[in-house]
Amino acid sequence: MLEVVRYPEMWPNSGEFEVDAALWRWTIDLDAGDVEENQLDDRGVEFPRVDDRRVGAAARYSVAVGSDSLVRYDLDRGTASEHRFGTAGLSGAPGEAVFAPSPGQSDESSGWYLTYVYDPVRDGSDLVIIDASDFDGQPVARVRLPRRVPHGFHGNWISE
């Protein structure tokens, strides 16, 4: 199985970039040569990520970027929750979230999500850290950066 972001069409001719892709699951039957498609959500999202330790294996959580939120999908339960960035003095648009696991823990909800959030008012970004066990709660830390980090900046967490 693959969880993917699928666009209704690739690069529409409007000239505007809009997040109208949605999360889908592709179940591939190699013996039959078939692919079954199921749409998991209708929210516009991009840059889905799982705990890097789970890449290539079944993962419980996937976190994707919405227009002003991160959306965490519980792939086992078929549910989703959002962490919105329009509250508590933190506005703007987040970038791709990276999971930093708690040392010595294998649970996908034991750690932190790190994301850059662009604030258009000051034309700068913050590094925002969210406790994975309290995804809907307030960030545990916010580091104000002196410059904007462009959307599409990709990274990985390396513990050592």
Quote the tokens at residue 36: 């079954």
- Kindly list the distances between the CA atom of residue 137 and the CA atoms of 55, 106, 111, 140, in Å, as whole numbers in the listed order: 26, 22, 14, 9
In a domain, 84, yes or no: yes
pLDDT band at residue 103, thresholds of 50, 70 and 90?
A: very high
In a domain, 140, yes or no: yes
In a domain, 73, yes or no: yes
- What is the domain count for the chain? 1
Mean pLDDT (the chain) is 87
In a domain, 108, yes or no: yes
**Beta-bridge partners for 116:** 127
More confident: 13 or 50:
50
Residues of the chain with pLDDT > 90: what percent? Answer: 63
pLDDT band at residue 13, thresholds of 50, 70 and 90?
A: low
In a domain, 124, yes or no: yes
pLDDT score of 44 more than 70: yes
In a domain, 159, yes or no: no
For residue 85, give its domain range.
46-144
In a domain, 87, yes or no: yes
In a domain, 39, yes or no: no
Per-residue pLDDT reduced to its tens digit, 113-137 = 999 998 888 888 999 999 999 999 9
Nearest to 22 by CA among 8, 35, 37: 8
How much is the pLDDT for 89? 55
**Beta-bridge partners for 56:** none
Separation of alpha carbons 149 and 98, rounded Å: 15
Q: Quick check: 76 and 28 in contact, CB under 8 A? A: no
More confident: 86 or 56:
56
Per-residue pLDDT reduced to its tens digit, 60-89 = 999 999 888 999 999 999 999 999 986 555
Per-residue pLDDT reduced to its tens digit, 132-157 = 999 999 999 999 998 888 877 777 77
CA 7 to chain CA centroid, Å, is 16
Mean pLDDT of the region 50-55: 93
pTM of this structure? 0.86
